[in-house]
Structure 1
């Protein structure tokens, strides 16, 4: 699916992906911080977020849809949040792990982290009946890969690379009606 030469790519297979997801979960556990909720950055973060959530035994999950890359090294001017929007009403005071496949430029992950952290809630933390402080969202990020040019440093990273990455879920061309009809004898 990538136009990058094979030797310029990092290729992740399904078995190694399983190891990567479990290692990310181990990093979270070793940090003595456990999420209440895992949020996937769709589409690339859907499979990793599910695998990490299973490994951590976290059942509460959310998804935030963001479009930025339109092809190999081709992006929109800025990341764009797509509908449907996630219900964020339960985020304040929670520990949230945001999972994506890669922090390439890091702009998508930075946008999502800013959005999640912005959902604090006025809270009466001293018990005087007045919401004088904001109860923050304790958000951290995990990615399978991080690249040196990323504008954000993820909290948990399985591997660092500067190469284009072929993930097992996006290694083949999409299945389309046109391709299926063209393949028929």
Structure 2
């Protein structure tokens, strides 16, 4: 699908978005597993940083032959492209990991606060032999904490739209538009146009169904109103 739209929201904050495919996730996790193997270090237990680390951690269990998988939840990004003031451990774990080599896994490291907090939490409560960290991607231009292992280096900040939070992203993006513009009543054409100009055509084309799903939820919950468009914009779809 190709959309050509003459925009009207020219003075809006642009957020670069990259839609990540599941094939890319599998390939990155394989590459990450190979790097861990090449280091001659083998974890006994893998701990996912919930929630983004669940799928990468499970894939690493498969690639590395690890059967013990736990999770700790660290809250850092309350909604899409919106950062909390301070990361904190919401749901820690408290199990005896004495003598165990532990690998803490997240999907992406931006500042690194989440994975660093998870690592410290495990070291303080669970008495592991050793804790190392890993992520599929690292945004090196903003990272304050670098994981021990990572598959992909990202040099400039971008919002990676993973499959496991597609509806959550769509909801957050819509509400960001509502908040920034102060406009709570939209026609669908206007909202699509705003998405194109804020988040780009790739996001709109690949996540259009999720946008509609999220919009329906937000309308039913009273966060946004839909009106009939008075005039149709210049759209070409193929």
TM-score, structure 1 normalization: 0.77
1-structure distance, mates of 2:14, 2:86: 26
Choose 1 or 2 for highest CA Rg.
2
- The one-character-per-residue Cα deviations of 1:94-123 (angstroms, maximum 9, x if unpaired) are 1001000111111111111112222465xx
For 1:107 and 1:179, locate their aligned partners in 2 and report how far apart those are by CA, in whole Å. Answer: 31
Kindly state the Cα deviation for residue 180 of structure 1 after the two structures are TM-superposed.
9.7
Q: Which structure has greater helix proportion? A: 2
Q: How many correspondences in the alignment?
A: 163
Partner Cα distance (1:79, 1:62) in 2: 20
Contact between 1:4 and 1:72, CA under 8 Å: does it hold in 2?
no
In the TM superposition, what is the alpha-carbon distance from 1:43 to its structure 2 partner? 0.4
Larger strand percent: 1
Q: Residue 143 of structure 1: which of 135, 142, 146 is its match?
A: 135
Q: Does 1:40 align with 2:78?
A: no
CA distance in 2, matches of 1:95, 1:11: 33
Q: String of CA shifts for 1:4-38, please: whole Å, max 9, x gaps.
A: 857x2233201111111111111111110000000
Q: How many Å separate the matches in 2 of 1:31 and 1:155?
A: 10
Contact 1:13–1:167 (8 Å) recurs in 2: yes
Structure 2: segments with no counterpart, 5+ residues: 1-11, 172-212, 221-238
Question: What TM-score does the superposition give when structure 2 sets the normalisation length?
Answer: 0.61
**Contact 2:109 2:139 (8 Å CA) reproduced:** yes
In 2 relative to 1, CA 137–113 (structure 1 residues): closer, same or farther, beyond 3 Å?
same
Match of 1:61 among 59, 63, 69: 69
Aligned match of 1:108: 114
Give the root-mean-square deviation of aligned CA atoms: 2.5
Which residues of 2 match residues 1-185 of structure 1 at below 5 A?
A: 8-83=16-91, 85-89=92-96, 91-119=97-125, 121=127, 137-148=129-140, 149-161=142-154, 162=156, 163-172=158-167, 173=170, 179=217
Cα gap change, 1:154 to 1:57, in 2 (>3 Å): same
Q: What is the alpha-carbon distance in structure 1 between the residues aligned to residue 38 and residue 59 of structure 2?
A: 18
